[in-house]
């Protein structure tokens, strides 16, 4: 029986895999110029990590985690996001002992049991970056500018950076009170989950994906109207830094983000080319999270950028680069001796970094040339007894069909080798 891949996942191969490498290389390069270093954390973590960090009343924790119990009875989940694991690893490996601030980045798969649709998958990949050790708005600006530079280098157009501040824990209490009063008047019309969240964590009602709930909360109070003077100063400081960096933004008072760890700054990059899943990158400041996971109070800020959504934008904007598998030469053969020579030449070229392919299984020349064409080789050469005798063969351009004679010994030279 044929078994298919799990719903909401993808197989990536061929040209697509080359595109992924192109994007990942750009992510590595961009993070590096900011002095960020790569971190790779386990694909699964203890369930408590996300309960404690992302929050018990978030969609991620309540509905979307892939969890399992191991042979020892411990409960684990496949990582639904990258920040919690990075904070855990930062503390567990005492990365705070390195030169502070510490900037880390990751490119990794995440897993959420969501309803799959375009731009929303059950396994998806993020390029994320986290900055530990600064409470200053320049750190927020730096993380935003990292994401912005990455997107600009890929040629993405028409993105909107939406910015908001949701304040600190102190401001949150006042805001929660106001929001709860507002929600109480709508209680009857909210879904069961929202009615439950309303008292436990009213802000999470604003993330509900149920359209009726969204209609009810459309005019809800916004956190920005309740933030403290210090939080407002931080917010204006960030805006000033973005102006210095020439990064355009809009203030969007409705952004609250769906994860509990945020304090002060929250932001999203959205694209009109993404349809209903419009956010390609989301992030913000999380000044309480390190402490919550057992560390010293540490200012921190970061983002996660969805690579599948990024690819959708690039495709819709015709910004996907031509990917070339780079096969320089197909070396075909006629007869045993020709195959041996083809093998020797291919081996020499490969050892010197030239992409060379062969088809030494004894197929006829026509079948070999068909393969060379389908595989995308730029040039082809066939070596048989007469070529071995004369020491010369015809080298053919697969795109124009033109051919010319070449000494077999001069093949390495032809590719700039000596
Ligand atoms: P998030 O908003 O949950 O934030 O995810 C960030 C990005 O990941 C989204 O904007 C989207 O592009 C992509 N994404 C999320 N869920 C899916 C999905 N089911 N399918 C496809 N793409 C998806 C976080 O994960 C935070 N950890 C970001 C962060 C880092 N905040 C501070 N540091």
Taking only the tens place, the pLDDT of each residue in 140-196 is 999 999 999 999 999 998 999 999 999 998 888 999 999 999 999 999 999 999 999
The predicted model gives 335-345 an average pLDDT of 96
Taking Cα atoms as reference points, which of 124, 142, 125 lies closest to residue 133?
A: 142
List beta partners, residue 300.
132
Reported as a pLDDT band with limits 50, 70 and 90, residue 273 is confident
Reported as a pLDDT band with limits 50, 70 and 90, residue 298 is very high
The predicted model gives 74-92 an average pLDDT of 98
Q: Answer whether 124 contacts ligand 1 (Cβ < 6 A).
A: yes
The predicted model gives 275-303 an average pLDDT of 96
What is d(CA 311, CA 27) in angstroms, rounded to the nearest whole number?
13
Q: Answer whether 306 contacts ligand 1 (Cβ < 6 A).
A: yes
Task: Answer whether residue 6 shows pLDDT above 80.
Answer: yes
Q: Which atom of ligand 1 is nearest to the CA of 302?
A: 33
Percentage of residues in the chain having pLDDT higher than 90: 92
Residue nearest to atom 1 of ligand 1 (CA): 282
Q: Answer whether 85 contacts ligand 1 (Cβ < 6 A).
A: no
Task: Determine whether 311 is exposed, middle or buried from the number of CB atoms within 10 Å of its CB (0-12, 13-18, 19+).
Answer: buried
Q: Answer whether 126 contacts ligand 1 (Cβ < 6 A).
A: yes
- pLDDT tens profile 394-417: 999 999 999 999 999 999 999 998
Q: How far is the CA of 124 from the centre of ligand 1 (A)?
A: 9
What is d(CA 303, CA 126) in angstroms, rounded to the nearest whole number?
9
pLDDT, residue 189, reads 92
What Cα–Cα distance (Å) separates residue 364 from each residue in 359, 391, 405?
10, 22, 22
Residues in CB range of 50: below 8 A, 6 or more apart? 60, 61, 65, 77, 80, 81, 84
Alpha helices in 254-306 (DSSP H): 289-292
Q: Answer whether 279 contacts ligand 1 (Cβ < 6 A).
A: yes
Q: How far is the CA of 147 from the centre of ligand 1 (A)?
A: 13
Alpha helices in 303-410 (DSSP H): 307-316, 335-351, 365-375, 385-390
What is d(CA 351, CA 347) in angstroms, rounded to the nearest whole number?
6
Residue nearest to atom 30 of ligand 1 (CA): 303
Q: Answer whether 223 contacts ligand 1 (Cβ < 6 A).
A: no
Taking Cα atoms as reference points, which of 278, 279, 259 lies closest to residue 268?
A: 279
Question: What is the 3 state secondary structure string of 76-131?
Answer: EEECCCCHHHHHHHHHHCCHHHCCCCEEEEEEEEEECCCCCECCECCEEEEEEEEE
CA dihedral 135, 141, 145, 146 (to 10 degrees): 0
Reported as a pLDDT band with limits 50, 70 and 90, residue 76 is very high
The predicted model gives 245-257 an average pLDDT of 96
What is d(CA 335, CA 326) in angstroms, rounded to the nearest whole number?
27
pLDDT, residue 351, reads 96
Q: How far is the CA of 332 from the centre of ligand 1 (A)?
A: 48
What Cα–Cα distance (Å) separates residue 45 from each residue in 88, 103, 123?
10, 22, 16
The number of CA neighbours under 13 Å toward the Cβ of 228 is 13
Mean pLDDT across the chain: 95
The 8-class DSSP code of residue 323 comes to P
Q: Answer whether 280 contacts ligand 1 (Cβ < 6 A).
A: yes
Q: How far is the CA of 20 from the centre of ligand 1 (A)?
A: 18
Taking Cα atoms as reference points, which of 327, 372, 378 lies closest to residue 350?
A: 327
Q: Answer whether 304 contacts ligand 1 (Cβ < 6 A).
A: yes
The pair of structure tokens assigned to 204 is 């999470």
What is d(CA 280, CA 267) in angstroms, rounded to the nearest whole number?
11
Task: Answer whether residue 242 shows pLDDT above 90.
Answer: yes
Q: Answer whether 262 contacts ligand 1 (Cβ < 6 A).
A: no
Q: Answer whether 317 contacts ligand 1 (Cβ < 6 A).
A: no
pLDDT, residue 326, reads 83
Neighbouring CB atoms inside 10 A of 227's CB total 24
The predicted model gives 123-149 an average pLDDT of 98
Residues in CB range of 318: below 8 A, 6 or more apart? none
Residue nearest to atom 10 of ligand 1 (CA): 281
What is d(CA 369, CA 406) in angstroms, rounded to the nearest whole number?
18
Percentage of residues in the chain having pLDDT higher than 70: 100
The helices-and-strands tally (H runs, E runs) of the chain is 15, 16
Residue nearest to atom 20 of ligand 1 (CA): 120
List the 75-78 sheet strands across, edge first: 44-46, 75-78, 67-69
The predicted model gives 6-11 an average pLDDT of 98
What is d(CA 390, CA 234) in angstroms, rounded to the nearest whole number?
78
Best residue among 39, 45, 55, 81 to mutate for probing ligand 1's pocket (most ligand atoms within 8 Å of CB) is 81
Residues in CB range of 364: below 8 A, 6 or more apart? none
Alpha helices in 155-262 (DSSP H): 169-184, 192-200, 211-216, 229-245
CA quadruple 34, 86, 295, 232: dihedral sign: positive
List beta partners, residue 163.
251, 267
What is d(CA 382, CA 307) in angstroms, rounded to the nearest whole number?
42
Report the length, in residues, of the chain.
418
């Amino acid at each position: 029986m044929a078994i298919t891949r799990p719903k909401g996942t993808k197989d990536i191969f061929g040209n697509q895999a080359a595109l992924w490498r192109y994007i990942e290389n750009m992510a590595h390069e961009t993070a590096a110029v900011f002095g960020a270093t790569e971190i790779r954390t386990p694909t699964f973590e203890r369930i408590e990590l996300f309960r404690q960090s992302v929050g018990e009343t978030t969609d991620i924790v309540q509905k979307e985690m892939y969890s399992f119990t191991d042979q020892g009875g411990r409960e684990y989940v496949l990582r639904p996001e990258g920040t919690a694991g990075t904070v855990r690893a930062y503390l567990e490996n005492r990365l705070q002992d390195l030169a502070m601030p510490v900037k880390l980045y990751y490119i990794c798969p995440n897993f959420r049991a969501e309803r799959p649709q375009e731009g929303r998958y059950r396994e998806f990949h993020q390029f994320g970056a986290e900055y530990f050790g600064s409470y200053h708005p320049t750190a927020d600006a730096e993380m935003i500018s990292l994401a912005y530079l990455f997107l600009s280098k890929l040629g993405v157009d028409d993105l909107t950076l939406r910015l908001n501040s949701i304040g600190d824990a102190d401001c949150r209490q006042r805001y929660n009170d106001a929001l709860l009063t507002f929600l109480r008047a709508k209680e009857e019309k909210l879904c069961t989950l929202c009615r439950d969240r309303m008292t436990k964590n009213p802000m999470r009602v604003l993330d509900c994906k149920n359209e009726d709930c969204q209609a009810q909360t459309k005019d809800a109070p916004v956190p920005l109207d309740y933030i403290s003077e210090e939080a407002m100063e931080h917010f204006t400081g960030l805006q000033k830094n973005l102006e210095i960096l020439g990064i355009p933004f809009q203030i969007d008072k409705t952004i609250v983000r769906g994860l509990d760890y945020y304090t002060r700054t929250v932001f999203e990059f959205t694209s009109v080319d993404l349809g209903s899943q419009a956010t390609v990158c989301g992030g913000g400041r999380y000044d309480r999270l390190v402490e919550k996971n057992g560390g010293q109070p540490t200012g921190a800020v970061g983002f996660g950028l969805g690579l599948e959504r990024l690819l959708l934008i690039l495709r819709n904007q015709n910004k996907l680069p031509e990917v070339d598998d780079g096969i320089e030469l197909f070396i075909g053969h006629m007869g045993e001796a020709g195959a041996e020579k083809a093998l020797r030449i291919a081996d020499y070229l490969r050892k010197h970094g030239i992409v060379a392919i062969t088809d030494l299984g004894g197929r006829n020349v026509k079948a070999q040339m068909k393969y060379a064409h389908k595989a995308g080789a730029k040039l082809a050469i066939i070596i048989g007894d007469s070529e071995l005798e004369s020491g010369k063969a015809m080298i053919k351009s697969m795109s124009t069909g033109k051919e010319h004679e070449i000494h077999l010994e001069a093949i390495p030279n032809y590719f700039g080798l000596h």
